[in-house]
A and B are shown apart, each in its own frame.
Chain A
Amino acid sequence: MYVSDTAAGGSRPRPRLSWRVPGNVLALGAVSLVTDVSSEMVTAVLPLYLTLSLGLSMLQFGALDGLYTGVTALVRLAGGQLADRWRRRKLVAGAGYGLSALCKLGLLAAGGSVPALGAVIAADRTGKGLRTAPRDALITLSAPPGALGHAFGVHRAMDTFGALLGPLAAYAVLTATGGAYDAVFVTSFCAAALGVLLLVLYVREPRETAGPRLPASLRAAAGLLRQASFRRLCVAAAALGLVTVSDAFVYLLLQQRAGLDPAVFPLLPVGSSAAYLLLAVPAGRLADRAGRAPVFLAGHAALAAACVLLLGPGWIVPVLLLHGAFYAATDGVLMAVAGPLLPAHLRTSGLALLQTGQAVARTLSSVLFGALWTVWGGDLALTAMTAGLAACALAVLPVLRPIRDNTRENTRENSREEGP
């Protein structure tokens, strides 16, 4: 919860829906922006570097890739637990950012060794897993509960802007150096190091409220699921995750349906990101005003609509807009729903639990969709997923509805909990 708000008893009138964003959120946004420039620079050139400079088959690489998915989930949960236990969210997030920064130099050091490259990429991913939950917890602790949607919208927009700049930066470096991949990695490292420094200098660990320190333990974190609202949210997010069509399939189907020129294919994710960038703040503000759970569900409706278009005419721009809207209305908004439901001393663990559940569900969804495709073919598989998504969104509507009304009360409940 918002600390000073709790201290004042939670009843202080606030200017509703101001455009102001807390400095800490802007600082975290700047960290994410710079870090995403760094990581997307590498993303843009890594396949080319691996296959052309090193002569390494991507398939060989892909086989390595799958091994580390489970590790990330565990690291995320452990990171959340440690951040809560030590009350050092900034430290754990910083460790994640720092690890990923070092990995950029690791790419240089790994040279042509496949296991070394696999290890570096796994470490990079571990860093990402480690930092996400503490960063989102810091955002929820830095903004007033009533404006969390806006705060997350601003953060995600900055993050996405960085992701869009990254490939351009990589291109600039490659052009300026005549194709020196190591220069891209060095530049990427410098950007990542700047991100870590921004975090150290400008992100504050929110002050704890007065009163006895409540211990954070694994048992307490698991106990979060006994709280009805949070349990409902986790179940809803995981259930929706199971019927969420993954990005790769959306782009693949769009390319097939629209008969796109293959050279345009890599631009499709750019289109989704651009829509996400434009819609993140409006969606966050709408969530603050109209309720976050409804906006979260509307985001899934947008994805369902995109799927319907994929089944039908396959219009490129509307599909990408809806796909971007799906991210804008779900990613940060889910964290904004969850934040106020979780006591401050267990917030990182709770967010990590929610994110992990969603990530695991989405991985299963890809497997499920692939299986459906094999049995029924692409069209029928997509129809089934879309129907499942719509049914699931309708089914969780009554589950999520009470959460919206409880948001304010839960905040009070938690504040009472903190000072018995």
Chain B
Amino acid sequence: MRRAGRAAVLAAAVVLLGGAATGYAAWSARRDPAGTDGTAATASPVAPGQLMFRAADGRVARVPLDRPSAPPTADGPRCDRFSTGGGVSVCLVARPGPVTTTDALILDRSLRQTRRVELAGVPNRARVSASGRMVSWTVFVTGDSYNQGGFSTWTGILDTRTGYAVTNMEDIPLTLGGRRYHAADVNYWGVTFAPDDNRFYATVATKGKTYLVEGDYGAWRARTLRENAECPSLSPDGTRLVFKKRVSDDPDRPWRLHVLDLATMRETPLAERDSVDDQAAWLDGRTVMYAKGRDVWSVPADGGGAPSLLVRGASSPVAVR
């Protein structure tokens, strides 16, 4: 092809492709208009007896705990992950940019922001201890290219009483199988605090395996309790953990929810047979709830019964006690 011909083809292609990209972008901008993240104009106070969650549009919403099918009140801020306890809430919001960052917003009882912690990466897990003192979160931080694979989790813990924040707990001295352990690839995620606001449980991954760890915040150390347990969540009475266990290599259904009795270390598979990728929460002392697909489901914590739909179009469920 001659020079002029090639230039004409190129120019036509630039117009066509540029037009297609612009047109699609314009259409998608009208389809889902942007909202404001992490801010609530006026929200009613967080009060016991509420079931709070993240609604499908990203806003924090709530229904009465005893009537979860009631129409939700969605007057909270827009969050990607949400949790609350003891009048303190945490809202993880992704800030898309040339590089994605995440803000962990600490909110008061009226869901007004009291503190903002800037983090790298993408929101993943968020928890607040029952008293509201300890807040923890996990973000995913990727390397420079998805083509190279490789990512890590950064888990942070904030003590709201002292204001001290650990943004990456990877330096916590870890005892694995009884021995002090060092490795470059240690990743923590999914923290849950005990009622004493000092003991906590979390997942640690290294060399392709995951372990349940028990941590001591004050002494700043952690030890593994068992293998293959992710995203633990402690029951209100502090005796049991619900966690996701890897049960299959099938990438479509790798996990099953189990409950671990901390006194006997015996595990019980729950009646939910679908794979659940969530840090479950306790609806009450006998029932756990979790996001599956686009909805929140609940299932008895003793392995019996059957899963049932709790709230449609929801995630990050948390019962306010």
Name the distance in Å between B108's Cβ and chain A's nearest Cβ. 24
Contact partner of B28 (CB less than 8 A), chosen from A118, A125, A180, is A180
Bound Cα distance A65, B251 (Å): 11
Q: What string of 1s and 0s marks CB contacts (under 8 Å) between B180-196 and chain A?
A: 00111100000000000
B99 x A58 contact (CB < 8 A):
no
Bound Cα distance A113, B251 (Å): 9
Bound Cα distance A134, B71 (Å): 61
B32 x A60 contact (CB < 8 A):
no
B184 x A381 contact (CB < 8 A):
yes
For residue B31, which residues in chain A have a CB less than 8 angstroms away from its CB? 180
Contact partner of B149 (CB less than 8 A), chosen from A65, A193, A369, is A65
Name the distance in Å between B79's Cβ and chain A's nearest Cβ. 11
Task: Say yes or no: A48-B184 contact (C-beta < 8 A), given A58-B151, A125-B147.
Answer: no
Name the distance in Å between A355's Cβ and chain B's nearest Cβ. 15
B6 x A201 contact (CB < 8 A):
yes
Chain B at the A interface: SS class: mixed
B9 x A370 contact (CB < 8 A):
no
For residue A201, which residues in chain B have a CB less than 8 angstroms away from its CB? 1, 6, 9-10
Q: What string of 1s and 0s marks CB contacts (under 8 Å) between B120-157 and chain A?
A: 11111000000000000000111111111111101000
| Chain B CB within 10 A, most for which of A58, A64, A377 | A58
A252 x B184 contact (CB < 8 A):
yes
B119 x A374 contact (CB < 8 A):
no
**Does B101 have its Cβ within 8 Å of any Cβ on chain A?**
yes
A190 x B28 contact (CB < 8 A):
no
Stretch with Cβ within 8 A of B (4 or more), from A13-21, A135-143, A266-274, A305-313: A266-274
Contact partner of A269 (CB less than 8 A), chosen from B118, B140, B144, is B144
**Does A46 have its Cβ within 8 Å of any Cβ on chain B?**
yes
For residue A44, which residues in chain B have a CB less than 8 angstroms away from its CB? 98-100
Chain A at the B interface: SS class: helix
Name the distance in Å between A181's Cβ and chain B's nearest Cβ. 9
For residue B29, which residues in chain A have a CB less than 8 angstroms away from its CB? 176-178, 180, 183
For residue B146, which residues in chain A have a CB less than 8 angstroms away from its CB? 42-43, 46-47, 121
**Does B172 have its Cβ within 8 Å of any Cβ on chain A?**
no
B183 x A370 contact (CB < 8 A):
yes
B122 x A47 contact (CB < 8 A):
yes
Name the distance in Å between B147's Cβ and chain A's nearest Cβ. 5
Q: What string of 1s and 0s marks CB contacts (under 8 Å) between B100-124 and chain A?
A: 1100000000000000001111111
What class of interface size applies to chain B in its complex with A? 35 or more
Bound Cα distance A320, B124 (Å): 29
Contact partner of A182 (CB less than 8 A), chosen from B28, B168, B291, is B28
| Chain A CB within 10 A, most for which of B32, B146, B152, B154 | B146
Bound Cα distance A276, B140 (Å): 27
Name the distance in Å between B231's Cβ and chain A's nearest Cβ. 9
Residue of B with least CB distance to A64: B251
**Does B163 have its Cβ within 8 Å of any Cβ on chain A?**
no
Contact partner of A266 (CB less than 8 A), chosen from B24, B25, B141, is B141
Name the distance in Å between B29's Cβ and chain A's nearest Cβ. 4
Task: Say yes or no: A179-B183 contact (C-beta < 8 A), given A47-B142, A248-B150, A270-B99.
Answer: no
A265 x B120 contact (CB < 8 A):
yes
**Does B96 have its Cβ within 8 Å of any Cβ on chain A?**
yes
For residue B140, which residues in chain A have a CB less than 8 angstroms away from its CB? 47, 51, 58
B119 x A190 contact (CB < 8 A):
no
For chain B residues 17-53, which have a beta carbon within 8 Å of chain A? Answer: 17-18, 20-21, 24-25, 28-29, 31-35
A51 x B122 contact (CB < 8 A):
yes
B101 x A62 contact (CB < 8 A):
no
B205 x A59 contact (CB < 8 A):
yes
**Does A8 have its Cβ within 8 Å of any Cβ on chain B?**
no
Name the distance in Å between B188's Cβ and chain A's nearest Cβ. 12
Name the distance in Å between B233's Cβ and chain A's nearest Cβ. 16
Bound Cα distance A177, B32 (Å): 8
Name the distance in Å between B83's Cβ and chain A's nearest Cβ. 16
Bound Cα distance A44, B1 (Å): 37
**Does B214 have its Cβ within 8 Å of any Cβ on chain A?**
no
Bound Cα distance A411, B38 (Å): 65
Contact partner of B143 (CB less than 8 A), chosen from A39, A247, A264, is A247
B24 x A60 contact (CB < 8 A):
no
Residue of B with least CB distance to A249: B184
For residue B262, which residues in chain A have a CB less than 8 angstroms away from its CB? none
**Does A364 have its Cβ within 8 Å of any Cβ on chain B?**
no
A-B contact pairs, 25 of them (CB 8 A): A40-B145, A43-B145, A44-B99, A45-B100, A47-B140, A55-B315, A58-B122, A60-B277, A115-B252, A121-B147, A176-B29, A178-B29, A178-B33, A180-B31, A187-B21, A187-B24, A190-B20, A194-B13, A197-B10, A248-B143, A249-B184, A261-B118, A262-B141, A269-B143, A373-B183
Q: A118-B251, A194-B17 are in contact. List 12 more A-B contacts (CB 8 A).
A: A43-B147, A55-B291, A58-B122, A63-B254, A175-B96, A179-B32, A180-B25, A180-B28, A182-B24, A190-B21, A370-B207, A377-B182
The 6 closest A-B CB pairs, nearest first, are A178-B34, A269-B144, A180-B28, A266-B99, A65-B149, A373-B184
Which A residues form the contact surface with B (CB < 8 A)?
A: 39-40, 42-48, 51-52, 55-60, 62-66, 113-115, 118, 121, 124-125, 128, 167-168, 170-171, 173-180, 182-183, 186-187, 190-191, 193-194, 197-198, 201-202, 247-249, 251-252, 261-267, 269-270, 369-370, 373-374, 376-378, 381
